[in-house]
Amino acid sequence: MDPTTSSTPVVTTPDSSSSEFSSADFTIGRLFQQPNLEEKQAEEIAFLSLTRPSSHTDRPIGATLTWRDLSVYVTAPKAKGNVAPFKRVLNNVRGALQPGSLVALMGASGAGKSTLLNALACRCPPGVVVDGEIRINGRLIDRSFCDMSGYVYQDDIFVGSLTAREHLLFTARLKMSGNWTVHEQNLRVQELLTDLGLIKCQNVIIGEPGVTKGLSGGERKRLSFASQVLTDPPVLFCDEPTTGLDTFSAERLVMMLKDLTQRGKTVVCTIHQPSSETFAMFDRLVLLAEGRIAYQGSSSGALGFFESMGYTCPATYNPADFYVQTLAVIPGLEDTSRSTVRAICDRFIVTSTAKQIDLLIQFETSLGQEMLELSTKNGHQPVGLHQARWAIQFLWLVWRAFVDSYRNPAVHTLRILQKIAIALLAGLCFHGVLGTRDQKTIQNIQGALFILTTENTFPALYGALGIFPMEWPLFLRDARGGLYSPSAYYLSKVVALIPGYVVETFVFVTIAYWLMGLKPEAGAFLYSCWILIVTCNTAAACGTFFSAACESIAVAISFLIPFDYILFITGGVLISLSSLPEYVSWTKYLSWFLYTNEALSAVQWQNVTSIKCDETNFPCLHNGQEVMKHFSFDSSRFSVDITSMLFIYCTFHMLGLMAIVRRSRS
Ligand SMILES: Nc1ncnc2c1ncn2[C@@H]1O[C@H](COP(=O)(O)OP(=O)(O)OP(=O)(O)O)[C@@H](O)[C@H]1O
C-alpha cells in the first residue's frame, strides 16, 4: 500500500481550494474512511512501522513528517553565577512535510536550521534537549527512525584509502545485511554507482583533501549521498549539501534529490545561498528566524507572503537571498531586525497556510493514535531497519582496517626499517660481550634483555596513542548513526594491529638476539620471541587504553609519561625489587617490564650450572639460579609472568572499551 499513489482524496480542508496542502495531499486520511479497518490492519501496521517489505523490488514507502510544540535547548556557556544553564534555540515550532517534497530549510546564520534538522532527524548531539512531538506518519519518532532515515552531513568523512565502490560495499554490508541478501546489496551498490555517475571513479581511492589525491568534491558529495540512500530511506536529511560545490555540481546534486522526491521520498535540506536555478528546484520552503518559523509552504507562495507584509523582492534579486536578508539580525540594527522578525513570524502563524499545517498535524496525530491502538491490540511493535549482526560488523571493520593498512605500505616499510636499524645497532653494541660465562657477562646479559624489553614496549605503547583520536569523528558519526557498535569497532582495531606487532617483534628479536649472542638455542630464541610478542601487545593494549580514554594524542602522552615511568622503575633492573619502598612496591605487579624481564631471564639462566668467578669479584654468582635470586627473580614464576601479562592485556582492553563506549555517549 503506497500512500503516495492513492487515488481517493478523502479529507476536505476548510479552505482546500487555495490550500498549500491540497486535499489530495491528505491521502493518509483515507484510513479513516475505511469501514473495515480491521481487515486492513496488516498493511496499515506495515505502513506505520515503515519496515522494509520482504523483496528487493518493494521499496519503503513515503513518509509524512510532522512536529509541534517543538523547542530545543542547548547547554549555554556557563556565565558567572550559572544562572541560565540552558539556552532555547528553537522556540515552540510546528510544521509538516509530506512525501514527495523537496524542502529547503533556510534562514540567517544562527537561526536554528541545523538544530531543527538534527531534531527532526533524531540526531541531536548529547547535551541537547528536545521538547515536543515529532511524528512520522503519525507515530512518535524514536531511535529506530535514525536507522530508517538518511542523513547527509555537511562535511564528508571517509576512510580515504578505500575506493568509492569499497566504501559503498562496506556501508551496504553493515546497513543492509538484516534485510537484503548479499546479491541484492551488490545490485543496489551497482545501481547507485550508475545512477549517481560514480561508475567512472568507482575504483578510485577516495583520498583526503589536501593530503592524498582522490575523488573530487562533487564525487565525494555524491558518494556520501549514495551511502545514505542505500537502504532507500523514506526521509532524507541533508545538511548544506551544496556547500563547497560549484554551481553546476550543486544543481546536479539538487536534481538528484529532486529525482528522489519524485519517487515519493521526503528530502529536507538546510541550504545556504543557492543560485536562483537551484532554489527553483525546491518545491517547499521552511524559513527560520531567531528559532521561530517565519514561513513554511510552497516556494512560490513565499514571495506573496512577504509582499503581503510589505517586503517585495526586487525583480533582479535571487528570492533565496532576499528572504535570508529580510530575516537576518543586522549588527547595529538588532532591535529593528528583531522586531521585523517577530512581526513576520507572528503574521505567519495566523495565515491559512499555517492553519492547514495545524490541521495536517492533527490528522497525523490522530492517525498515529489509531494505529498505535491497532498495533498494541495485535501485538505488533514498530521496528526500524535491522542493524547488522555484531560478528558482521566486526568482520567488515577488520576488513576495512586491513585495507587501510595495506594501502599505506610506506608506513609499514618505514616501521620495519626502523626496527631493523635499531636491532642492528643494539646487536652490534652487545656483539661479542655475552659469550663467556663470567661475572661481567651477567650484567651484560641483563642489559641486553632490558634493551629487548624496552624496544618492544615503547614504540608499541606510544604508537598506539594515535589509533582513536585520528578516527574519532568518523567513529562517532558511524556509531551514532547506528552503523556499528563501539565494541565491534574497538575490537576490530585491536585485531587489525596484532599481525603488525607480531611481524615487527619477530624481525627485531631475530636480528638482535643472534647478533647480541644470547643463549644459542632454538628453544630459548623461540621462547624469547613469544615473551616479547606478548610484551609488545601488552604495551600496545596500554597505549590503546590511553588512546581511547583521551581526546587527543597530546593529552594521552601527558598521562602516559608518569605512568610508564613508574612501571619502568619497578621493572626489576634499575632497582632491586626487594629494596623497593613499601608504599611503591605494589606497583611492580602492574609492571609488564618486571614480568618480561623475569621471563626472559628465566629462559637465559635456565640450566646454567656454572659461572666463572674471578677472585676480585665479590660477591660471586655461581650459577643461573643465583643470578635469578640476585635480581629477586624466580624462574618458577614463568607461567605466572605470561599469565599476568595476558591479564594486564585484557584489563587494558576492557578499560579501553569502556572508555570508548562512555565517550561515544557523552
Ligand atoms: N550544542 C550547542 N551548544 C551551544 N549552542 C548551540 C549548540 N547548538 C546550537 N547552538 C546555538 O544555537 C543557535 C542555532 O544554531 P544552528 O547551528 O542551528 O544555526 P544555523 O541556522 O544552522 O546556523 P549556520 O547557518 O551558521 O550553521 C546558534 O546561536 C548556535 O550557537
154 C-beta closer than 6 A to ligand 1: no
- Residue 43's pLDDT is what? 38
Distance of CA 360 to the CA centre of its chain: 36
Rg, Å, the chain Cα set: 33
For residue 240, the CA-to-ligand 1 centroid distance in Å is 14
Length of the chain (residues)? 666
Rounded to two decimals, the ipTM of the complex is: 0.95
123 C-beta closer than 6 A to ligand 1: no
| Helix or strand run (H / E) with residue 392 | helix 390-406
118 C-beta closer than 6 A to ligand 1: no
- Residue 376's pLDDT is what? 56
291 C-beta closer than 6 A to ligand 1: no
- Residue 178's pLDDT is what? 74
Distance of CA 368 to the CA centre of its chain: 32
Atom of ligand 1 nearest to the CA of 117: 18
Cα–Cα distance measured from residue 598 to residue 587, given in angstroms and rounded to the nearest whole number: 16
Comparing C-alpha atoms, which of 515, 318, 343, 332 is closest to residue 422? 515
pLDDT at residue 158 above 80?
yes
For residue 586, name the pLDDT band (cuts at 50, 70, 90).
confident
pLDDT at residue 615 above 60?
yes
Average pLDDT over residues 580-585: 79
C-alpha distances out from residue 403 to 158, 205, 396, 400, Å = 13, 11, 10, 5
Give yes or no for a contact between 43 and 58, defined as CB atoms under 8 angstroms apart. no
Other C-beta atoms within 10 Å of 46: how many? 18
Cα–Cα distance measured from residue 224 to residue 654, given in angstroms and rounded to the nearest whole number: 33
What confidence tens digit (pLDDT) does each residue in 128-146 have? 899 999 998 888 887 777 7
The SS3 of residue 462 is: helix
Query: Grid cell 546536479 — which residue?
Result: 252
What confidence tens digit (pLDDT) does each residue in 190-216 have? 999 998 889 999 999 999 887 888 899
The average confidence (pLDDT) of the chain is: 84
What confidence tens digit (pLDDT) does each residue in 315-324 have? 888 999 999 9
Distance of CA 373 to the CA centre of its chain: 36
- Residue 581's pLDDT is what? 80
DSSP-derived secondary structure letter, 387: P
Determine which residue's CA is closest to atom 17 belonging to ligand 1.
Answer: 114
Comparing C-alpha atoms, which of 460, 506, 511, 467 is closest to residue 489? 467
Count each helix (H run) and each strand (E run) in the chain, helices first: 24, 10
For residue 111, the CA-to-ligand 1 centroid distance in Å is 7
**What is the CATH T-level fold of the domain 65-149+233-377, as seen in this structure?**
Rossmann fold (3.40.50)
Which residue ranges does the chain devote to CATH 3.40.50.300? 65-149+233-377
Cα–Cα distance measured from residue 132 to residue 92, given in angstroms and rounded to the nearest whole number: 8
DSSP-derived secondary structure letter, 316: T
Q: What percent of the chain has pLDDT over 70?
A: 86
Question: Looking at 228-232, 233-237, 313-317, 364-368, which range is the least confident one?
Answer: 364-368
Residue 280, all three cell numbers: 527553483
What is the side-by-side order of every strand in the sheet holding 266-270? 150-152, 235-239, 266-270, 102-107, 284-289, 292-298
- Residue 403's pLDDT is what? 92
- Residue 472's pLDDT is what? 93
92 C-beta closer than 6 A to ligand 1: no
For residue 492, the CA-to-ligand 1 centroid distance in Å is 35
For residue 248, the CA-to-ligand 1 centroid distance in Å is 29
Q: What percent of the chain has pLDDT over 90?
A: 53
Q: What is the DSSP string of 586-601?
A: GGGGG-HHHHHHHHHH
For residue 574, name the pLDDT band (cuts at 50, 70, 90).
confident
For residue 281, name the pLDDT band (cuts at 50, 70, 90).
very high
For residue 371, name the pLDDT band (cuts at 50, 70, 90).
low
User: Alpha helices of 431-466 — where are they, by DSSP H?
Assistant: 439-455, 458-463
The contacts of residue 255 (CB under 8 Å, 6+ apart) are: 281
107 C-beta closer than 6 A to ligand 1: yes
Determine which residue's CA is closest to atom 25 belonging to ligand 1.
Answer: 109
For residue 386, name the pLDDT band (cuts at 50, 70, 90).
low
Average pLDDT over residues 515-526: 94
- Residue 282's pLDDT is what? 94
